[in-house]
Amino acid sequence: METLWIVLLGLLTAGYFALAGFDYGTALLFRLLGRDDRERTRALGAMTPFVLGNEVWLVAAVGVLFGAFPRLEGELLSGHHTVFVLIVTGLVLFTASVQLRGTNPAWDGPLIAGALAVAIGWGWLAADLTGAPPLLWAAGVVVLFALHGGTFVAWRLPGHAGHRARVLARSLVLPSALFVPAAVLLADPVRHSTPGLVGAAAVLVLVLGAGVTTGRTAFLCTAVACALPIPVVFAAQDVVGPETMAHGTTLSVLTPVVFVVLPLVLLFQFATWWMVRVRHA
């Protein structure tokens, strides 16, 4: 029972970073992807159909955190108060600006600022947990998300914007790859080094893999590379322990809910992807 909930929390968190990661990444890059505003709108528009579905993975993760790990929820959030205020403020700014922008570039500033704040916030949290320099992690997560946004647009959009995205993504592979060993070497000793090292190695391989592949494969590489860091840091520092979990009755109430909801979400989100799928001519 305990393992199930730890796996579930990890899955939802990983899902959030894999999906919302390209939301933020596209927001960071799209100004560079078009020669004029019409092209930029189109680059951004490759991502917007998925925003609602992507961002709610975090909402679900925090819901599970509250319901199944109540003592961790309070401790984690209040213990990193300013970091989470930054993340949440960035999230609000980002979500609202995506909606408000439409074809109006006046919202580009708040949109990019929101995405940047969220990325920096998650990096800062990981740095706080591992003792590595916050600046390194902040830059690392920003670069990782941008890389993910790049492979996403490169996969989804044909023509100039897609080509520019591919070039930009390629140029972000090396900085992303350098960030991984730096984050490992500059961290304090962690509680469980094995998951930490295995996770870091996986991220490194995936980032390099994104550099030598194209299209959907490159996108899947960066998706997993974005999904891993925060859950790996949590695992290495043993953040999610059974002692923080809710008791039996609460978990048995929540379990059937999860088994109904999760397959439904996967099915319907897959339907959204299928409906706006890339049509190869």
Partner 1 sequence: MDPLGLARTQFATTTSFHFLFVLLTLGLVTLVAVMQTRFTLTRTPVLERMTRFWGRIYVVNYALGIATGIVMEFQFGLNWSGLSTYAGDVFGAPLAIETLVAFFLESTFLGLWIFGWGRLNRWAHLALIWLVTVTAYASAFWIMVANGFLQHPVGYEEHDGVLRLVDLGALLANPTFTAAFPHVVGAALTVGGVFVVGVSAFHFLRRTPEVDFFRRSLRLGVVTTALATPFLIGAGIAQFPVINHLQPGKMKAMPGLGIPLSFMMLIGVVLLLASWITLPLLARDWIVRLRFPLYLMVFSIPLPFIAAIGGWVVREVGRQPWLVYGLLRTEDAMSPVSATSMLISFLAFTGVFAALAVADWVLISRIARRGPEPETAPQPVSALALAL
The amino acid present at 14, given as its one-letter code, is A
34 C-beta neighbours (distance < 10 Å), count? 17
Looking at beta carbons only, is 96 or 198 nearer to partner 1? 96
CB atoms within 10 A of CB 43: 25
Q: Does 56 bind partner 1 (CB under 8 A)?
A: yes
Residue 20 or residue 168: which is nearer to partner 1 going by CB? 20
Q: In angstroms, what is the minimal distance from the CB of 22 to partner 1?
A: 15
- Of the two residues 25 and 90, which places its CB atom closer to partner 1 in the complex? 90
Handedness of CA 51, 208, 138, 134 (dihedral sign): positive
Within 23-42, which residues bind partner 1 (CB under 8 A)? 41-42
When the beta carbons of 12 and 138 are compared against partner 1, the nearer one is 12
Q: Least CB distance from residue 52 to partner 1, whole Å?
A: 4
By C-beta, is 74 or 241 nearer to partner 1? Answer: 74
Regarding 70 and contact with partner 1 (CB under 8 A), the answer is yes
Taking the least distance from each CB to partner 1, the nearer of 201 and 276 is 276
CB of 188 to partner 1, least distance (A): 24
Residue among 83 and 204 whose Cβ is closer to partner 1: 83
**Ramachandran class of 245: left when φ > 0, alpha when ψ lies in -120 to 50, beta otherwise:** beta
> Does residue 275 belong to the site contacting partner 1 (CB under 8 A)?
yes
Residue 51 is a binding residue for partner 1 (CB under 8 A): yes
- Count of residues in contact with partner 1, rule CB under 8 A: 66
Per-residue binding letters, 237-256, with partner 1 (x by CB under 8 A): ---------xx-xx--xx--
Binders of partner 1 among 72-131, rule CB under 8 A? 73-78, 81-82, 84-85, 88-89, 91-93, 95-96, 98-103
For the bound state, the minimum distance from the C-beta of residue 170 to partner 1, rounded and expressed in Å, comes to 24
Write out the chain in H/E/C secondary structure.
Answer: CHHHHHHHHHHHHHHHHHHHHHHHHHHHHHHHHCCCHHHHHHHHHCCHHHHHHHHHHHHHHHHHHHHHCHHHHHHHHHHCHHHHHHHHHHHHHHHHHHHHHCCCHHHHHHHHHHHHHHHHHHHHHHHHHHCCCHHHHHHHHHHHHHHHHHHHHHHHCCHHHHHHHHHHHHHHHHHHHHHHHHHHHCCCCCCCHHHHHHHHHHHHHHHHHHHHCCHHHHHHHHHHHHHCHHHHHHHHCCCCCHHHCCCHHHHHHHHHHHHHHHHHHHHHHHHHHHHCCCCCC
Residues engaged in binding partner 1 (CB under 8 A): 41-42, 44-46, 48-53, 55-60, 62-68, 70-71, 73-78, 81-82, 84-85, 88-89, 91-93, 95-96, 98-103, 246-247, 249-250, 253-254, 257-258, 261, 264-265, 268-269, 271-272, 275-276
